[in-house]
Amino acid sequence: MRKKLLLFMLLIGSMALHAEDYTYLTFETTDGAKVSVSVSSLSITISGTTLTAGDQSFTLSNLSKMYFSSSNETTGIESFTIVDGDDITEIYDLKGSKVSKDQMHKGVYVVKSKNGTHKITVR
C-alpha cells in the first residue's frame, strides 16, 4: 500500500512540475486565429454560448480547440489598404469557394491581391 501511495505522489509531483512549463492557455477559432491567455490567476466562465477566459471572450460555436502552450501564440490581423479595386485578383470564403465582391456579406474572407494574401472581416 505504501509503495502505491508513494508512486501516486511521485506521479502527481511530476505532473505539477510539467504543468509549470505551460504558461498560456491558447484558444483556436474556426477561422484559424489563435488567442493565448496567461494561466496565472486565470478565471474561466461559461454563460450561455459565451466562454470567457481572463479578459477574452469567445462564442463556443466559433472555437475549434484549446490547449496549453509554453509561449504566447496570439495571431494578429494586420490592416492593409488596396488603393485601386483592380489590385484584388481573387476572393475566397472560408469554405474555399471563390466569390465575387458582390457576393461578400458579413463574414471572413481570404483576399488575394498584387500585394499578397490577406484575411479580412466584413462587418
> Which amino acid, one-letter code, is at 16?
A
Residue 113 burial (10 A CB sphere; 0-12, 13-18, 19+) = middle
Does 116 have pLDDT greater than 60? yes
For residues 108 and 76, the model is more confident at 108
pLDDT per residue as tens digits for the range 26-58 = 998 887 888 888 888 888 888 888 888 888 888
- Distance CA(69)–CA(39), nearest Å, equals 10
Reduced to 3 states (helix: H, G, I; strand: E, B; else coil), residue 92 is strand
Confidence band, pLDDT 50/70/90 cuts, at residue 17: very low
Residue 52 burial (10 A CB sphere; 0-12, 13-18, 19+) = middle
CB 54 within 8 A of CB 40: no
pLDDT per residue as tens digits for the range 59-69 = 888 888 988 88
State the pLDDT at residue 98. 92
Does 86 have pLDDT greater than 70? no
For residues 72 and 79, the model is more confident at 72
